[in-house]
Amino acid sequence: MGAVLVSPYISLAAFGVQTLVTYMSNTGAFGKTNKEVSENYFSLSTPAGYAFAIWGVIFTWEGVFVVNQLLNCTLTKNIGLWWISANVLQTIWSFAFAQEALVTSAFILSGLAGSMYMCAGAATSQSIVYVRGPLSLHAGWVAVAALLNWNLALVGNEASLNTQIAAAYSTVGAAVLGAMSMLLWKRDVVFATSIAWALVAIYVKQRNQKAISLSHFHKATIARLGLYGAGVIGVGIVTLLCDGVY
């Protein structure tokens, strides 16, 4: 699948359609906006709203990526259908999430995370500006977003409080493990940075919860773990940068 050479014009079209649909979904064109759904199904790992501003960076940077493909398609010849798959899944996810199909959207977002991971890993060029950077940023963010989506699915399906608590702790743990693995294995600073961004946002959202009940206690604890995890990732990033990874 990754070896298929896809026309850069098809890649550009897929990106354009996906970006348009994503924008429209946040106007309520297909149901509820992403913000409304997130507020309706508040989980113990919900991040602060500002975290989602990263989409602006992702779309802008990927815009540079797809335009650069038109100039030199050999830079991305190994990405093939993974890029198309990612854009199709992102488009479908917008409809599913707007309709509050939380389990379905979680499966879709998990597939999207896998596709973006393959895109970042299969890129011929390691250019941080034009290829690897935007793909890794997107891959890291949707990896965390998929975990968050599963947490919302548990809330939407009225899972027990203990299950939701376990899922929230697992989300933070998996995010930190994923970021550190990519730092050590792929030396991917951008991927790790997007995950650290999400963890700090979880801390900001959950930190002010008072320990007046079991769930509030865990909110505060999860917040601190998110911050500590982001700190660990930050140390790893600085270490690699000092080693001249880029």
Mean of pLDDT over the chain: 90
Residue 48 to residue 199: CA distance in whole angstroms: 10
Query: What is the residue range of 149's domain?
Result: 8-242
Residue (of 142, 187, 1, 2) closest to 76 by Cα position = 2
Residue 33 near residue 26 (C-beta atoms within 8 A): yes
> Is 207 part of any domain?
yes
> Is 17 part of any domain?
yes
> Is 22 part of any domain?
yes
Residue 167 to residue 152: CA distance in whole angstroms: 10
Domain count of the fold of the chain: 1
For the ranges 45-49, 91-95, 131-135, 211-215, the maximum mean pLDDT occurs at: 91-95
Residue 216 has pLDDT above 70, yes or no: yes
Residue 196 to residue 116: CA distance in whole angstroms: 18
Segment 143-167 shows an average pLDDT of: 96
Residue 214 has pLDDT above 70, yes or no: no
> Is 158 part of any domain?
yes
Report which DSSP code applies to 212: S
pLDDT for 194 equals 97
> Is 2 part of any domain?
no
Residue 77 to residue 3: CA distance in whole angstroms: 7
Segment 87-108 shows an average pLDDT of: 97
Segment 121-139 shows an average pLDDT of: 83
pTM of the predicted protein model: 0.91
* Sequence letter at residue 194: S
Among 81-90, 117-126, 159-168, the minimum mean pLDDT is found in 117-126
Residue 244 has pLDDT above 80, yes or no: no
Q: What sections of 52-188 are H helices per DSSP?
A: 54-71, 81-98, 102-122, 132-156, 161-185
pLDDT for 219 equals 85
pLDDT for 2 equals 42
How far are the Cα atoms of 63, 116, 119, 139, 161 from residue 122, in angstroms, in the given order? 19, 10, 5, 12, 40
> Is 1 part of any domain?
no
How far are the Cα atoms of 113, 116, 138, 191, 216 from residue 142, in angstroms, in the given order? 5, 8, 6, 10, 27
> Is 189 part of any domain?
yes
What SS3 class is residue 26?
A: coil
pLDDT band at 130 (very low <50, low <70, confident <90, very high): confident
Express as a percent the part of the chain with pLDDT over 90.
71
